[in-house]
Amino acid sequence: MHRLFVFGRGYAAGVIADRLAAASEGWAVTGTTRDGRDGTLAFDDAAGVRAALATATHILSSVPPGADGGDPVLDRYGDAIEAAWIGYLSSTGVYGDAGGAWVDESAPTGTGRRTARSAADAAWLARGARVFRLPGIYGPGRSPLDRVRAGTAHRVDVPNLFSRIHVEDLADGVLAALTAPAGAYNLADDRPCSQNEVIAFAARLLGLEPPPFVPLESLSPMARGFYAEDRRIANGKAKRVLGWQPRYPDYRAGLRALRAMTSPVAASTAPPAASSDQR
């Protein structure tokens, strides 16, 4: 019996956990949420978490760095993490600004705005983890389609290029790495482009006018930081080493599939999308 323990069973990690639990015999899946909802353990339930870690064969963390800059999982439970397979959902933000250039796993990290994430990324690599560096994550209930429907989408007159990944492609990559060597893996689609292009396409799919442009200065400091970096994420290593291929190689394929999943009635009543803490 394989036993996967997931720290931070949220949107992306939840898809990975559900896929393993539903599609693979011989897997038992448990994990934490902040408050222990839906049958998980609360992150602060030290006795319960340590008991589960003692029998875990696989450990996956999607918990971002804390307010103090440390990694909450390693800081609290690092001494109990001894599974044969360890995975960590990181961010392509560790690469910083590349001026629109392609970056692969050999690029330097720690030079951008996400210094705490870079430190956590390095710490998990030092523990022998498979570290998955992720750009913007989208999928059912969390996509540009949801933001356009909700009236919360906007365009910014900044030509920066960004990569993204459908949550199912993310899950495919992590599952493919269950038998892969430790190291960093970029999981991203094949077509980086501007956020404005994606938002305009989402609006066309919905038969709506694209949202207006807003000044960069009107955005929050966090959002302005997003536009301060410009890079394209290369995914060749994941394709070579993991044998991974994205089902949705660009945002058009991904958004068309999401649109097809949603009936007109459901589309009109869909809740606003939650923001992702990954980029």
pLDDT 10s digits, 173-208: 999 999 999 999 999 999 999 999 999 999 999 999
Is 239 a residue whose pLDDT tops 90? yes
- Contact criterion met (CB below 8 Å) for 122 and 109: yes
270 band by pLDDT with thresholds 50, 70 and 90: very low
21 CB-near residues (< 8 Å, 6+ apart): 27, 28, 29
Which of 136, 274, 141, 271 is CA-nearest to residue 198?
136
Distances in Å between the Cα of 207 and the Cα atoms of 56, 106, 113, 241 are 48, 42, 37, 41
Percentage of the residues of the chain whose pLDDT score is greater than 90: 84
So what's the pLDDT on residue 135? 97
Strands 164-166 and 136-138 come out as parallel
Phi-psi region of 209 (alpha: psi -120 to 50; beta: other; left: phi over 0): beta
Mean pLDDT of the chain: 92
Size of the chain in residues: 279
One-letter amino acid at 49 equals: V
Alpha-carbon span 274 to 90, nearest angstrom: 19
What average pLDDT does range 235-239 have in this prediction? 98
Alpha-carbon span 278 to 93, nearest angstrom: 8
Distances in Å between the Cα of 197 and the Cα atoms of 194, 204, 211 are 5, 11, 11
111 band by pLDDT with thresholds 50, 70 and 90: confident
What average pLDDT does range 2-23 have in this prediction? 95
Is 31 a residue whose pLDDT tops 90? yes
Phi-psi region of 234 (alpha: psi -120 to 50; beta: other; left: phi over 0): beta
Alpha-carbon span 84 to 11, nearest angstrom: 25
Can you give the pTM of this predicted structure?
Answer: 0.92
Which of 275, 133, 144, 246 is CA-nearest to residue 197?
144
What average pLDDT does range 208-236 have in this prediction? 93
Percentage of the residues of the chain whose pLDDT score is greater than 70: 94
10 band by pLDDT with thresholds 50, 70 and 90: very high
The residue written with tokens 């690599």 in the block is 125
What average pLDDT does range 155-179 have in this prediction? 96
Is 271 a residue whose pLDDT tops 60? no
Q: What angle do CA 251, 257, 258 make, to 5 degrees?
A: 90
So what's the pLDDT on residue 273? 36
Q: What angle do CA 74, 76, 80 make, to 5 degrees?
A: 75
25 band by pLDDT with thresholds 50, 70 and 90: confident
Instruction: Please provide the distance, in angstroms rounded to a whole number, between the alpha carbons at the two ends of the chain.
Output: 34
Is 278 a residue whose pLDDT tops 90? no
Q: Which residue has the higher pLDDT, 83 or 245?
A: 245
What average pLDDT does range 109-124 have in this prediction? 92
So what's the pLDDT on residue 226? 87
- Contact criterion met (CB below 8 Å) for 162 and 193: yes
Indicate the range of 10-19, 126-135, 212-221, 256-265 predicted with least confidence: 256-265
